[in-house]
Amino acid sequence: MKRFEDKLVVLTGAASGIGRATALRFAAEGATVFGIDRNAEGLAETAAAAEPGSIITHVADLAEESAVVAAAAAGAEQLGGVDVLANVAGFLRVTPLDTVTAADYEDMWRVNFLAPALMCRELAPVLPDNTGVIVNVCSVSATKAHPYMTSYAASKGALLAFSLSLSAELGKRRIRVVPVSPGGVITPLTQSSEGLAGLDTSHYARTFPLWGDMGTPEELAAGITFAASPEASYLNGFEVRLDGGSHV
C-alpha cells in the first residue's frame, strides 16, 4: 500500500521501539519522514533500514521547550510542509508511591505531555486544512490502573485529555486529532526490569491479552498509520486502544 505517497510526516521517538517501527511503516508507504529523537545512533539505524532519503533525522532532547520549537521548525522547513504529526516519543519509569519524587513527576510531564503538546502548538498552524492529522501516542495507563506508574499514568492522562480537547479546537479546520493508547508492547522501554526488584507485579498478569503475548512495535505501527491515513478520515477525537483486548 502507498497510503502516504508524497506525504510529509514529522515523527518523534524515531530511534527505537514503536517510534522506529512507525517511521519505517510511514516511509514504506511513500511518506518522507522527519524523525526526531535524542538517540543519534538509533536514529541512524532507523534511517538505514528505510529507502535512502525517505527518513530525515534530527537529534533533539524534547524535554526542553527550546528544543521542541527548533525541531518543529526544522521539520517544517526541511520537509517543505507537514501533513502528519505523530508524537510517539515516551518515557517510562517505575515509581512506587513511597519513593516517587517531584523530579519523577516533572520528568514524565516534560517528555510525555509537554513535548507533544508543544509540538502540536508549533505545527498545527502549518498542517493543511481538511487533510492534516495529529496522532498522539498515549497509554492505557491513562484510564486503567497500573501500580507503580502514578507519574507515568498522570502524564499520559494529561496527553489524552489534551488530545480530545484539541480535536474540538481544530475541528473547524477539519484537522483530525487521534489519541492512540497502546497496552503492553515488546520494546526496550517495557522490557527493562529496572525498578521492579522486590515489587509485587502480579497485577500485571491481568493486563495481557487472552492469548498471553504482548504486542509488537510493528502491530502498533499498523494502528498508528491507519489512524493517520485517509482510510480513517471519519476518525477524530476518539481514543483508539491498541491493547489486544487486554483491558476490556
Q: Which domain holds residue 24?
A: 8-242
In a domain, 3, yes or no: no
pLDDT category at 195 given cuts 50, 70, 90 is low
| Residue 212 scores a pLDDT above 80 | no
In a domain, 2, yes or no: no
> Which of 105, 152, 204, 234 is labelled catalytic?
152
| Residue 192 scores a pLDDT above 60 | no
- The helix or strand, by DSSP H or E, that contains position 152, with its residue range, turns out to be helix 150-169
Tell me which residue of 2, 88, 103 sits closest to 37, measured CA to CA: 88
DSSP collapsed to 3 states, 106-148: HHHHHHHHHHHHHHHHHHHHHCCCCCCEEEEECCHHHCCCCCC
| Residue 21 scores a pLDDT above 70 | yes
Q: Which pLDDT value is given to residue 220?
A: 97
| Residue 151 scores a pLDDT above 60 | yes
Cα–Cα distance, 31 to 1 (Å, whole number): 11
∠ Cα 142 144 213 (to 5°): 105
Instruction: Report the pLDDT averaged over residues 192-220.
Output: 76
Give me the number of domains the chain comprises.
1
Instruction: Report the pLDDT averaged over residues 72-87.
Output: 98
Instruction: Report the pLDDT averaged over residues 152-163.
Output: 97
Q: What is the CATH number of the domain that holds 101?
A: 3.40.50.720
Least confident of 6-10, 71-75, 89-93: 89-93
Active site residue 152: yes
In a domain, 247, yes or no: no
In a domain, 81, yes or no: yes
Report pLDDT digits (tens) over 26-66. 999 999 999 999 999 999 999 999 999 999 999 999 999 99
Q: Which pLDDT value is given to residue 189?
A: 59
> What letter does residue 185 receive in the DSSP assignment?
B
DSSP, collapsed to helix, strand or coil, labels residue 243 as coil
What the block records as the C-alpha cell of 69 is 520549537
Cα–Cα distance, 76 to 73 (Å, whole number): 5
In a domain, 1, yes or no: no
In a 10 Å sphere around its CB, with 0-12 CB exposed, 13-18 middle and 19+ buried, how is residue 210 labelled?
A: exposed
pLDDT category at 203 given cuts 50, 70, 90 is confident
Query: Strand ranges (DSSP E) for the chain?
Result: 8-12, 32-37, 55-59, 84-87, 133-137, 176-182, 240-242
